[in-house]
Every structure is written in C-alpha cells, then in structure tokens.
Amino acid sequence: MISKCKFTLVEVLVATSITAVVLSVISAATWSTLRTVDATGRRADMSRETGVLVRRISEDLMGCRYEVTLSRAELDMLRDREEEPPAFYAESEDDHLLLNIYTTAAITGPSMPAGVYKVFYRFSATDGKLERRQANIAQVELDEIPWRVLSDDVEYIKMRFYDGEEWMEEWNSNDEGALPLLVEVAIGLQRDGISSRREFMVSPRIRERQ
C-alpha cells in the first residue's frame, strides 16, 4: 500500500514564505559582502595612489640642489633680464600650491642622480588637480612643456618650510640664501567618499651659498 503525501495550501504558503525570508537574508548578506569588498578595493587603490604621490614628491625634494650649473643660453637670457631664478621657490596656501625647484631626482631618484632638472608643481583646490612638469636644465623654455596631471582627486596639499628656528608658508632661496632644513607635507585625496591622507617630512640636500 503506497501512501500519498499531500500538502495543504497553508503548508505551501508557509514553506514559500520561509524560503523567501532565507533567500532575502542570503541576498542581503551577499550584497553587503560585495559592497565591503568593493570599498576595501577602492581604499587600497586610493592608498596606493597616495603612496605614489608621496614617493614622487619626497624624491624630488630630497634631490634638491642649491647651486646649479645653467646652460650658456640660459645664462645669457638671465643676464638680459638681470635676475636669477630661485633654486627653491614655494608658495603654500589653503587653496593652492606652487613649488619650483632644481633637483637631481627627477628621472632616477635621489640615490642615482642623472643630471639637474627644473621641476614645477602646482595645485588648485578649484579642480583638485595636482600637476607636475620637468625639463632638463639645458632646456630653456620650460613653459613649452605640458603639465602632467598626477591626480585630479586631491582634496588638499599643504607644505611648510623650516629654517632652523621657525616654520614658514613660503620659501625663496634667493632671499634665504639656502634650502629649507625640513619640508613638511600634508596631502589628502578623496574619491567617491573614500579618503586617504598622509603627512610626512623631507630634508633636502642642504647647499649653502658660497
């Protein structure tokens, strides 16, 4: 004798409801996990991007030179204009940054100098872009070299310069007669609600005016 199992409508509805609840819980847990993984990945990407900027800025600053050998063409041009460009010039405000330096680290880093380069940085909080350009010292017309965008997600970048007694927001090596003893840098990136912030100090190669 074969028994037949029959389900009442109530039992079917209860089973369907339980299945729906279980699937809903699983779906919510899966979605939450995916969101967490995505956010973690974006934080890691932002951290790596910040690290690249920190390394680039640090190397340029560590390779700074006070005394540079200018090309004959540039010397002639400067004599005509009766001025000498600062080997280290910087303005740091809340909404913008300008940094003009001579450095040996533009190509291979401070430990393996490959010539002296003019390196300019600029930042405007209006568009969040941190830009950089460089030229070998023999290239006179730096203005003809295009800017390279290092990041367009910079929330802020701030520098301060230490002369051995006090911190300053600006530095002109022609006025100070030296490079700063320390440069303090604070930089923050933000993209899609993810932030990455770093603060660090760099000591340029000190070369006093002879």
Does 28 fall in a domain? no
Q: State the Rg of the chain over Cα.
A: 29
Does 173 fall in a domain? yes
Residue by residue, pLDDT tens for the chain (210 residues) are 555 566 576 666 666 777 777 777 777 666 666 565 555 667 788 888 989 999 999 999 998 887 765 555 555 555 555 566 788 999 998 889 999 998 887 766 666 666 788 899 999 988 999 999 988 876 656 667 889 999 999 999 999 999 999 999 999 988 888 899 999 999 999 988 888 999 999 998 654 444
Does 113 fall in a domain? yes
Does 17 fall in a domain? no
User: Is 88 within 8 Å of 60 (Cβ atoms)?
Assistant: no
Does 39 fall in a domain? no
Q: Containing domain of residue 62, as a range?
A: 47-202
| Position 28, amino acid | A
Q: What is the pLDDT of residue 208?
A: 47
DSSP 202: E
Q: What is the pLDDT of residue 10?
A: 66
Does 83 fall in a domain? yes
Q: Provide the number of structural domains found in the chain.
A: 1
| Region for 51 from its dihedrals, namely left if φ exceeds 0, alpha if ψ lies in -120 to 50, beta otherwise | alpha
Q: Is pTM beyond 0.75 here?
A: no
Distances (CA, A) of 115 to 1, 108, 147, 193: 98, 9, 20, 41
Does 80 fall in a domain? yes
> Which residue in 57, 65, 46, 63 sits closest to 159, CA to CA?
57
Q: DSSP letters along 144-189, please? A: GSPPEEEES-EEEEEEEEE-SS-EESEEEHHHHSS--SEEEEEEEE
Q: What is the pLDDT of residue 92?
A: 92
| Region for 156 from its dihedrals, namely left if φ exceeds 0, alpha if ψ lies in -120 to 50, beta otherwise | beta
Does 32 fall in a domain? no
